[in-house]
Amino acid sequence: MKRWLMAAAAALALGAMAQMGDTAKTLWQFMQTQGYQLGWHYIPGEPAGMYEGGAPHGAILRTFTNDIAYDALAQKSFPLPDGAIIVKENYMPDGKLAAVTVMQKIKDFNPEGGDWFWAKYAPDGSVQASGKVGGCIGCHAQKKTSDWIFSGNE
Ligand code: HEC
C-alpha cells in the first residue's frame, strides 16, 4: 500500500474509534438522564433486582431494558428493533459495582453482528471498550437465534 494511503487508512480508523467513544459516552449520558435504574424494566421473565451471576460478567448481576427492548423481549420478538438497549450491571461478590456492560441496537451499525453496539464502562462511566467489540461478539454469538441475547433464552 502507498504510504499516503496507509496514513489515510490509519486516520480513518482513528476517526472511527473516536466516533465510537463518542457514541459510548452519549449512550452513558442517555442512560443517566433516563434514570435507567428506576425508570427502566428488568428482563421479562427473569428475576427482579440482583441475582447470582457468573463469569465473565460477575458474581452478582442486575439487568435493565428500556421500553423498546422490554416490549420485544416480552413477546420474544427477535431481532429487537432499532433503539433497543440492555444494560447489565456487574457486581463483585462483596456487592461493589465492577463494571456496566451495555448493548444498544443501532440500525445498519454491524449487520453481521446483529447490529449491536457494545460498550463496557467503569462504575464512573469511563469507557473501557466500545463499538464492535470482538470479545463480546464472540461469546454472545452463541445466542444468534435470540438476537445475541442470553437472558431469558438460556
Ligand atoms: C464468555 C462469554 C461472554 C462475554 C465475553 C461477554 N458476555 Fe455478555 N453475557 C454473557 C452471558 C452468559 C450473559 C447472561 C448473564 C445473565 O445470566 O444475566 C450475558 C449478558 C449480557 C447482557 C444482558 C443481555 C443478555 O445477553 O443477556 C449484556 C448487555 C451483555 N452481556 C453485554 C456484554 C458486553 C458489552 C460484553 C463485552 C464487553 C460482553 N457482554 C461479553 C456472556 C458473555
For 128-144, the DSSP string reads EEEES-HHHHHHHGGGG
Tell me how far apart the alpha carbons of residues 140 and 88 are, in angstroms, rounded to a whole number.
14
Hey, whose CA ends up nearest to atom 20 of ligand 1? 150
Tell me how far apart the alpha carbons of residues 19 and 123 are, in angstroms, rounded to a whole number.
21
Tell me how far apart the alpha carbons of residues 120 and 134 are, in angstroms, rounded to a whole number.
12
Q: Is 56 in the pocket of ligand 1 (CB under 6 A)?
A: yes
pLDDT band at 20 (very low <50, low <70, confident <90, very high): confident
Three-state SS at 74: helix
Q: Is 134 in the pocket of ligand 1 (CB under 6 A)?
A: no
Q: What is the pLDDT of residues 72-125, one digit of tens each?
A: 999 999 999 999 999 999 999 999 999 999 999 999 999 999 999 999 999 999
Hey, whose CA ends up nearest to atom 2 of ligand 1? 139
Q: What is the pLDDT of residues 50-79, one digit of tens each?
A: 999 988 999 999 999 999 999 999 999 999
Phi (first) and psi of residue 16, to 5 degrees: -65, -40
Give me the pLDDT at residue 90, please: 98
pLDDT band at 147 (very low <50, low <70, confident <90, very high): very high
Q: Which atom of ligand 1 is nearest to the CA of 103?
A: 29
Residues 127 and 133 sit within 8 Å (Cβ to Cβ):
no
* Grid cell of 124 as nine digits: 464512573
Residues 148 and 140 sit within 8 Å (Cβ to Cβ):
yes
Mutate to test the pocket of ligand 1, among 31, 43, 57, 117 (most ligand atoms within 8 A of CB): 57
Residue 93 or residue 21, greater confidence:
93
Strands (E), 66-135: 85-91, 97-105, 116-121, 127-131
| Mean pLDDT confidence for 118-142 | 97
Domains along the sequence of the chain with CATH: 3-146 (3.50.70.20)
Classify residue 24 by its DSSP letter: H
CB atoms within 10 A of CB 95: 9
Q: Which atom of ligand 1 is nearest to the CA of 149?
A: 26
